[in-house]
Structure 1
């Protein structure tokens, strides 16, 4: 009987091939990915449910102390000391009667980067918002203006939501006479955060009431953005404000437009609605630094009348 010989092993074996590591590497990469996903999910769960209610951002609610801060920027380099004293005393005596605060600063306190010095007004408003976070409102009132009814509070004149509701001019061109951008129709008094009026040419940026809060800070920071400062608007910060209001619905949505004589009557009637006895504020817009039409000369009657009224109180 013949038996088959078992096959011989080749004397030339194939080269050694190490065991493939492809699958273990894939498994490691997959495990690492799964681990990262789990960490992300756990982090999201912690953010949504683990943080306390106090850690969630909430806008600061002012205490109303002081209720109103009157902001005025003066220019001692150009105007006489006697005139500027009357302006400051007008603000201070009025504020003392009602428990308000004054924030009177010099234009030179602010660096306007070589642009018009009037930009200091916007910077002062932003400064006052930071300095008095608990005030209900800041009221920017120009240097060339006088409060004429010391017995009346800002709240009863315009700031109280119910009073404001009765004064607001709705669905009206922001820039007269025929701007296609108009004030909101359905804005409520309590929702308004900037109270302003118009003259013959546009918004009166020299008497502005701002409700303190995030929106006011946003508006002032946008208003004094270097882009607008460098744009060389003809009337600097006034035209910049008109541009912002017309192009930014976030700003327009909280603008309350009121009749000019509410808080910005003009001594010169060719520029806007003229001052009448009993008006809250007179603005000497158009007065000059010196000469016959100087602000100091034009203010004398108004300053004397204010002192008479303050004594009567």
Structure 2
């Protein structure tokens, strides 16, 4: 509800332009959600929880779509040459993991061990089939991160979104959930076998790399932080509004992406320029 300054407008402009170019390149549909009216007039406004309702609206708006990708505004697609099919979905089992013990910053006990549950609910990988994956989320140093995640259209997803948005749970627990909808999803995953058996995790740097200013209490983490040499797909300036420069980070990554994705002619020109600059910098021989 605050006025946007030039830097906020610049972040929004660059982020939206980045997503538009990517979706136009690969033939995906892009749905940009403007929350200002909803925030002003909704009887109950839950900051960031609205993504649950937004996803349900997208299900109705795009009835033929199978997978939906949520991206926060402070994200930037670094490698537009990666399609989602080649990067993730063509080898979904290889690119995801079902057993949270592979990386478990929340120390969630997994799998369930109660004897009254079926074999699938007590398995660390559910049924092990990629067809049963309906939610794909990365984890950062503190647990689930929903700045970039995928959800599949299904009856399971409809049920999850209903429970996730449940106002009764919200009213009872929202003061305990510091990270809001992320904490709520963690609670549901930890408590409900029917949810856990259809969730898969994806290495964070596959779809949601962080800059070094985020999750850096223990220094740089190869599982979390962006690496230029590995050409990470997406970078998420998570938490930049808390003591960091959102626009500075967005601008730096935009410039880096442009540099890394130069065409052959641009690379040739840059090579010539570098050589010329090198010659000019050489010390002249003394007479």
Tell me if TM exceeds 0.5.
yes
The equivalent of 2:24 in structure 1 is: 96
1:126 to 48, 56, 61: 56
1:194 to 121, 135, 139: 135
CA distance in 1, matches of 2:15, 2:79: 15
User: For each residue in 1:184-204, what CA deviation from the matched residue of structure 2 results, as whole angstroms up to 9, or x when unmatched?
Assistant: 254212221111111111111
User: For each residue in 1:78-122, what CA deviation from the matched residue of structure 2 results, as whole angstroms up to 9, or x when unmatched?
Assistant: 562121011111111000000001111123343564454111222
Return the index of the structure with the highest Cα Rg: 1
CA distance in 1, matches of 2:156, 2:37: 25
1:106 to 34, 41, 64: 34
The equivalent of 2:71 in structure 1 is: 141
Between the two structures, name the one with larger relative contact order (CA 8 Å, sep ≥ 6): 2
Is residue 2:197 matched to residue 1:253?
A: yes
The equivalent of 2:156 in structure 1 is: 215
CA distance in 1, matches of 2:4, 2:170: 22
User: Alpha carbon RMSD of aligned pairs, Å?
Assistant: 2.5
Seen in structure 2, the aligned counterparts of structure 1 residues 268 and 248 have a Cα distance that, compared at 3 Å, is: same
Seen in structure 2, the aligned counterparts of structure 1 residues 187 and 91 have a Cα distance that, compared at 3 Å, is: same
Aligned residues: 235
CA distance in 2, matches of 1:258, 1:304: 27
CA distance in 2, matches of 1:202, 1:159: 23
Uncovered stretches (5+) of structure 1, i.e. residues with no partner: 1-74
CA distance in 2, matches of 1:106, 1:88: 12
Seen in structure 2, the aligned counterparts of structure 1 residues 307 and 197 have a Cα distance that, compared at 3 Å, is: same
The answer (yes or no) to whether the contact 2:127–2:197 under 8 Å persists in 1 is no
CA distance in 2, matches of 1:140, 1:284: 15
CA distance in 1, matches of 2:85, 2:225: 23
The equivalent of 2:180 in structure 1 is: 236
The equivalent of 1:275 in structure 2 is: 226
The equivalent of 2:238 in structure 1 is: 285
CA distance in 2, matches of 1:98, 1:212: 20
Q: List structure 1 runs of 4+ shifted beyond 3 angstroms.
A: 75-79, 109-116, 305-313
User: For each residue in 1:229-264, what CA deviation from the matched residue of structure 2 results, as whole angstroms up to 9, or x when unmatched?
Assistant: 322121110000101111122211111112111111
The answer (yes or no) to whether the contact 2:136–2:151 under 8 Å persists in 1 is yes
Uncovered stretches (5+) of structure 2, i.e. residues with no partner: 112-123, 216-220, 265-287
CA distance in 2, matches of 1:136, 1:252: 20
The equivalent of 1:206 in structure 2 is: 147
The equivalent of 1:299 in structure 2 is: 250
The answer (yes or no) to whether the contact 2:214–2:238 under 8 Å persists in 1 is no
TM-score normalised to structure 2 length: 0.74
CA distance in 2, matches of 1:90, 1:245: 32
Q: Which moved more, 1:217-226 or 1:256-265?
A: 217-226
How far has the Cα of 1:124 moved from its partner? 1.2
TM-score normalised to structure 1 length: 0.68
